């Protein structure tokens, strides 16, 4: 057993900021299944929303967030986010984060869809990478934090309704260790890989939600999957993200014939919130039969495009698209999970001593639709809040007295089975993309539920016999998360925010959240 004061599962901005904070109170183990910089944070292009401009104020940011959330945000959580956010941004700058500044040395503030003011702090179009590397460097220097790369968290250890740590697979040795801790944080990111087309990195397989679900924690609002409106449409691009900031700086969505169409869907046109823009693009593609729509920035100055969006410019150019002269072909792709493990304002889950923050958590900030660039802010704000709470409470906690060995620790998988696992994974992604995407129907959701149940039954033998292979563990988690998304979607007999069901096109008056607790007979794998 490896005893620590604090165990952090995940190395994105939420996990790193938590680890830095609690390291003042005790020793920390930070577990990541790949390298420490493999995270959704590292892929975030747009920026961090924060009230930093002279014409902005807290109330405007709060209202923009509530409007985007379509009536399901927890206003108290939103006010915490917006009020405490600027201080977290200043702390990043103190750590060494370098954000774009104007000629006067002031922060250069961008604007994105759904925001009424320019309030997006950014580092060109690589803000997430700058935040991640800043925090990683601070963690690397800290003597109280041990970072274990290529370690896969299999399951949480729960005794007497309290979390005691986690069983972790060491990829290098194939051995499972019990990491015992006084307090455990889930910061494992999102679940975009359950869809065929996603802007998420390959690691985003919903591991944290699935682990918490199996352990008995409440999960909430899983039906609200945000599809980013504009991912690059190219056979070799693998859903490369075209940042929301491109529209914020004046990008115009057009049909193949050049017609700008967003005014037909929303008075805010190309600056409408993401759910509206994604449905508009989905509608246009279905109506015209075209494979994509186009994002036009050719009316902007070429030097402005190259300086604001150097990564996007270079990436598109590598596919033969010069965005200073060519329209960018774009389609929507799964991008962000607004639901997750339910927490309070301090990051506490419904299991004692288990915390969650970042995309794996459902704080209530995002409601039915996340406002652009609020996600990095949420990770930083609630990462610190969870750390402050855990740091105080853990001082009075003891380690769990007895931890059993992980069951089935001798099982392995043969090379021939990896192909079968990959096939099942692709089937799952195809089902979710086809039936549980931007626009849903009752019949599609029923077909998805049946298909995932059949896939689960087919995969059960693999789970029973080969549970220690990383791809098998990911498949198990993806199946459970897909099931949760479908079940929550089937429960919501309305259209609201990111959940749009043509059989129930109008929102209901009630502001209901879907909260699900696992019963012992459910999902035995």
Half-sphere exposure of 45 (CA within 13 A, CB side): 24
Q: Are 183 and 157 in contact (CB under 8 A)?
A: no
* Contacts of residue 30, Cβ cutoff 8 Å, sequence gap at least 6: 8, 11, 15, 16, 19, 36, 139, 145, 146, 147, 148
Distances (CA, A) of 428 to 325, 399, 424, 524: 39, 39, 6, 18
User: For residue 464, what are the CA distances in angstroms to 124, 411, 459?
Assistant: 47, 9, 9
Contact 358, 212 (CB under 8 A): no
Measure the CA–CA gap between 135 and 96, rounded to whole angstroms: 9
d(CA 192, CA 207): 11
Instruction: Confirm whether 274 is a catalytic residue.
Output: yes
320: number of Cβ within 10 Å: 8
Q: Are 439 and 279 in contact (CB under 8 A)?
A: yes
Joined together, the tokens standing for residue 223 give 């039906």
> From CA 116, how far away is CA 114, in angstroms rounded?
7
Backbone angles phi, psi at 390, to 5 degrees: -65, -35
Cβ neighbors of 105 (< 8 A, separation 6 or more) are: none
Q: Catalytic one among 21, 117, 254, 274?
A: 274
Closest to 6 in 3D by CA, of 222, 186, 273: 186
Phi, psi angle pair for 475, to nearest 5°: -60, -45
The residues, ordered by sequence, that sit 6+ positions from 283 with a Cβ below 8 Å of its Cβ are 265
Which residue numbers are catalytic? Answer: 274
């Amino acid at each position: 057993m490896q005893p620590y004061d604090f165990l952090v599962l995940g190395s994105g901005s939420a996990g790193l900021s938590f680890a830095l904070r609690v390291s003042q109170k005790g020793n920390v183990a930070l577990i990541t299944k790949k390298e420490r910089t493999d995270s959704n944070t590292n892929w975030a292009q747009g920026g961090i929303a924060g009230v930093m401009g002279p014409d902005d104020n807290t109330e405007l940011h709060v209202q923009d967030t509530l409007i985007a959330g379509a009536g399901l945000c927890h206003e108290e959580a939103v006010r915490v986010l917006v009020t405490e956010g600027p201080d977290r941004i200043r702390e990043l700058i103190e750590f060494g984060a370098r954000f774009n500044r104007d000629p006067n040395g002031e922060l250069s503030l961008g604007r994105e869809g759904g925001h009424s003011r320019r309030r997006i702090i950014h580092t060109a179009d690589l803000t997430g990478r700058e935040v991640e590397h800043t925090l990683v460097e601070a963690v690397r220097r800290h003597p109280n934090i041990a970072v274990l790369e290529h370690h896969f968290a299999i399951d949480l250890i729960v005794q007497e309704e309290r979390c005691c740590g986690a069983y972790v697979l060491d990829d290098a040795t194939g051995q499972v260790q019990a990491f015992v801790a006084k307090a455990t944080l889930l910061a494992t990111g999102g679940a975009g890989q359950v869809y065929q087309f996603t802007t998420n990195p390959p690691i985003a397989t919903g591991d944290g939600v699935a682990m918490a679900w199996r352990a008995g924690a409440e999960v909430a609002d899983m039906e609200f999957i945000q599809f980013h409106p504009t991912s690059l449409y190219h056979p070799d691009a693998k859903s490369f993200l075209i940042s929301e900031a491109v529209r914020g700086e004046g990008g115009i969505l057009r049909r193949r014939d050049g017609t700008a169409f967003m005014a037909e869907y929303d008075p805010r046109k190309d600056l409408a919130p993401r759910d509206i823009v994604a449905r508009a693009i989905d509608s246009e593609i279905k109506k015209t039969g075209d494979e994509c729509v186009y994002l036009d920035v050719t009316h902007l100055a070429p030097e402005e495009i190259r300086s604001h969006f150097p990564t996007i410019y270079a990436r598109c150019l590598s596919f033969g698209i010069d965005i200073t002269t060519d329209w960018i072909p774009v389609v929507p792709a799964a991008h962000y999970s607004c639901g997750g493990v339910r927490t309070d304002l301090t990051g506490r889950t419904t299991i004692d001593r288990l915390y969650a923050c970042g995309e794996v958590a459902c704080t209530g900030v995002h409601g039915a639709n996340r406002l652009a660039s609020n996600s990095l802010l949420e990770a930083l704000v609630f990462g610190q809040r969870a750390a402050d709470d855990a740091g105080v409470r853990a001082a009075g906690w003891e380690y769990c007295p007895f931890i059993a060995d992980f069951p089935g620790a001798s099982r392995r998988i043969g090379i021939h089975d990896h192909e079968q696992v990959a096939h099942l994974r692709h089937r799952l992604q195809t089902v979710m993309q086809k039936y549980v995407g931007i626009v849903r129907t009752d019949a599609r959701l029923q077909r998805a539920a049946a298909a995932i149940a059949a896939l689960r039954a087919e995969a059960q033998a693999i789970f029973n016999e080969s549970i220690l292979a990383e791809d098998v563990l990911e498949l198990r988690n993806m199946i459970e998360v897909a099931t949760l998304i479908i079940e929550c979607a089937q429960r919501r007999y309305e259209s609201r925010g990111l959940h749009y069901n043509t059989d129930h096109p109008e929102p209901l008056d009630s502001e209901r959240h879907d909260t699900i607790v696992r019963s012992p007979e459910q999902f035995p794998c």
